[in-house]
Amino acid sequence: MTSEIWFKVDNPLSLLTEVILGTAPYKLRKKANLAQVQLNFDQINYCDSFNLKADYWYHFAYAINEEMGTLSCYLNGEKLSTGLASVGIISADIMGFREITFGGSIELKTSESKFTGYVKEFRWWKVVRT
């Protein structure tokens, strides 16, 4: 499965964890107090990005390969580290989306808020694209 989105952040250093894309059980979030994004699955965070700037368009993509047990994330074409959590957890059983919500999620946690910024385009494929 591959998902990609173009977004622009209003305030990269906002005090809130903002959900840019809610595709439960997967979420693309802007981290609180940090100008970074991350992919969240089942309370585990993957693919922390480098520092974001205000008023700049970003392209984020992630691909989960259930057969190979891999996760790949990209920000503006640069591959991100998946982090220290096991990618086997996220890739073991790819789940269908319970939602596709731009700028939020139907499953917002108390520590999360809706995204303050812009979304330009979203794409999703059932296949792994590189």
> Using one digit for the tens of pLDDT, what is the confidence trace for 54-64?
999 999 999 98
Q: Measured between alpha carbons, how far is 119 from 59 in angstroms, rounded to an integer?
A: 10
Domain boundaries of the chain, sorted by first residue: 2-125
Q: What is the pTM for the complete model shown?
A: 0.90
Mean pLDDT within 88-105: 79
The whole-number pLDDT of residue 68 equals: 84
Q: Measured between alpha carbons, how far is 30 from 96 in angstroms, rounded to an integer?
A: 23
More confident residue, 7 or 90: 7
> Using one digit for the tens of pLDDT, what is the confidence trace for 11-62?
999 999 999 999 888 999 999 999 999 999 888 899 999 899 999 999 999 9
Token pair for 8: 């622009």
For 45, half-sphere exposure in the C-beta direction (CA atoms, 13 angstrom radius) is 10
CATH number of 2-125: 2.60.120.200
